[in-house]
Chain A
Amino acid sequence: MIAIVDYKAGNIRSVENALKRLEADYQVTSDPDAIRTASHVILPGVGEASNAMRFLLPLVDVLKSLTQPVLGICIGLQLMCASSEEGPTECMNIFDSKVLRFRPSEGAKIPHMGWNTIENLRSPLFRGIQEGAFVYYVHSYYPEYSDSETVASTYFAGVTFSAAMNRGNFYGTQFHPEKSGPVGEKILENFLRIC
């Protein structure tokens, strides 16, 4: 059973629907025991980081102690980082990277919205995915690039940032695999195959 963590931060319907399309067995839950015993845990989220962090606070110790594969999506990934400029707020500190705001630059409209390419893929998440594949993004803040934890990168508004991160059993994507067509579906499928 996969646990989608419900912490009242935005719309999780699209993640549910993506798992349904993969015919995966899941539940939406905020129950610590259900999260602890799940085969895989997904931390979705849209919205504002400091508010989301406040909602997530009661579950932080549980989430940090997990040993099964955990996938943070968008704000979910950002909350797994050290801190965020949005708020600002301290985050869960699973990844060392900080979350920073895009600065306006020539020709780049913020939020970073739409399809962009992922490069330097090095994770089982990207098995069968080609360098330069397009994924869907909607965000104004980004996780810094890290030599040790970045497993895919994207360039936008003058910065190369972490498109995906991994440390031990913890994974995260700044893009939305649930909205990234067949490429995203494959990435989710790959995550569910990690054990």
Chain B
Amino acid sequence: MLAKRIIPCLDVKDGEVVKGINFVGLREVGDPVEMGAEYSSQGADELVYLDISASFEGRKTFTELVSAISERINIPFTVGGGISSFGDAARLLDAGADKITINTAAVNDPSLITHIASHYGSQFVVVTIDARKVGEASWKVTTHGGKVLTDKELYSWAKEAEDRGAGEILFTSMDHDGEKKGYAVNEYARLSELLSIPVIASGGAGSVDDIAEVLTTGKADAALAASIFHFGEIKIPDLKRQLAEREISVRI
């Protein structure tokens, strides 16, 4: 039976892993390759590395890092952050990334999804959507790490991304991210019913209950989290054992 995936996310700045609370207030937590290898040996199903460097030098360091990760890690990994062109995606593929994720660049130019997917396959393209609730019922897409609110609506944009060739959707609720009070469960359930590609839940994990809920009621195919893993609040083997006890299919 296909397992639900547990995905630690590592934000990388100038070669070091950091984790923001609501995308600000960065704290250093460790070496990206070593942390990835450790998560892999603990039973992580995939890894996501996001480059949050602002500088050209930082970007160059990140590409070198992707090569080093690819040499060391024997599970799939996705890389993203700052991919703004087909060339950026090709460069990361050559460095050994299994998938790339695009966010702001896809909002600005949706044809980029199609361009990359038609060359390297849909399985290579994860479209990340950061959205926040506006008013009572509407979820609006944000860009630039949550700083810019756009006119795009979450569900229609996710569907468009799928139609344009995305292989997976990684949705982060900006209202839940960093709060550790649970995922936006209803929104994931709706997305999962709307789309025929896998949905990765991100933002809000604070406990095993939260992760179990988003994988069952939330119908997500994978749960991504950062700080609860980085700071050892939940160990991946314990998490998977507890999910298995609740009859959620996980790889142990």
A40, B227: Cα distance in complex, Å: 44
Whether the Cβ atoms of B93 and A11 lie closer than 8 Å is: yes
Residues from chain A with Cβ under 8 Å of B1 in the complex: 116-117, 155
Min Cβ gap B26→A in Å is: 30
Question: Which of B3, B74, B94, B120 gathers the greatest number of chain A CB atoms within 10 Å?
Answer: B74
Contact pick for B74, options A11, A112, A179, CB 8 Å:
A179
For B15-49 the 0/1 string (1 means CB < 8 A from A) is 00000000000000000000000001000010000
Nearest opposing residue in chain B for A184, CB measure: B74
Contact pick for B75, options A17, A136, A156, CB 8 Å:
A136
**Is residue A167 contacting chain B, with contact meaning CB distance below 8 A?**
no
Min Cβ gap B144→A in Å is: 29
Residues from chain B with Cβ under 8 Å of A112 in the complex: 2
Residues from chain B with Cβ under 8 Å of A20 in the complex: 71
Residues from chain B with Cβ under 8 Å of A109 in the complex: 195-198, 221
How many A-B pairs with Cβ below 8 Å? 80
A22, B7: Cα distance in complex, Å: 25
A182, B74: Cα distance in complex, Å: 8
**Is residue A104 contacting chain B, with contact meaning CB distance below 8 A?**
yes
Min Cβ gap B123→A in Å is: 5
A47, B121: Cα distance in complex, Å: 6
Whether the Cβ atoms of B74 and A178 lie closer than 8 Å is: yes
| A115/B40 contact (C-beta < 8 A), A21-B74, A109-B197 known | no
**Is residue B122 contacting chain A, with contact meaning CB distance below 8 A?**
yes
Residues from chain B with Cβ under 8 Å of A38 in the complex: none
Whether the Cβ atoms of A10 and B167 lie closer than 8 Å is: no
Chain B interface size, under 10 / 10 to 19 / 20 to 34 / 35 or more = 20 to 34
Whether the Cβ atoms of B196 and A104 lie closer than 8 Å is: yes
Question: Which label, helix, strand, loop or mixed, suits the secondary structure of the A interface?
Answer: mixed
Whether the Cβ atoms of B167 and A113 lie closer than 8 Å is: yes
Contact pick for B3, options A108, A134, A138, A178, CB 8 Å:
A134
**Is residue B175 contacting chain A, with contact meaning CB distance below 8 A?**
no
- Interface size for A (C-beta < 8 A) is 34
Residues from chain A with Cβ under 8 Å of B196 in the complex: 104, 109-110
Whether the Cβ atoms of B96 and A17 lie closer than 8 Å is: yes
A136, B222: Cα distance in complex, Å: 14
Residues from chain A with Cβ under 8 Å of B40 in the complex: 181
**Is residue B132 contacting chain A, with contact meaning CB distance below 8 A?**
no
A155, B1: Cα distance in complex, Å: 7
**Is residue B176 contacting chain A, with contact meaning CB distance below 8 A?**
no
Whether the Cβ atoms of B96 and A179 lie closer than 8 Å is: no
A10, B99: Cα distance in complex, Å: 13
**Is residue B70 contacting chain A, with contact meaning CB distance below 8 A?**
yes
Within 8 A of A (CB), among B91-121: 93-96, 98, 120-121
**Is residue B5 contacting chain A, with contact meaning CB distance below 8 A?**
yes
| Chain B residues close to A by CB (< 8 Å) | 1-3, 5, 40, 45, 70-72, 74-76, 93-96, 98, 120-123, 167-168, 195-198, 221-222, 251
> Top 5 A-B pairs ranked by shortest CB distance?
A134-B251, A115-B251, A13-B96, A115-B3, A138-B123
Q: What are 19 A-B residue pairs whose CB atoms fall within 8 Å in the complex?
A: A10-B120, A13-B94, A17-B70, A21-B71, A21-B74, A46-B123, A109-B196, A109-B197, A109-B221, A113-B167, A113-B168, A113-B198, A114-B45, A114-B198, A114-B221, A115-B2, A115-B45, A134-B251, A180-B75
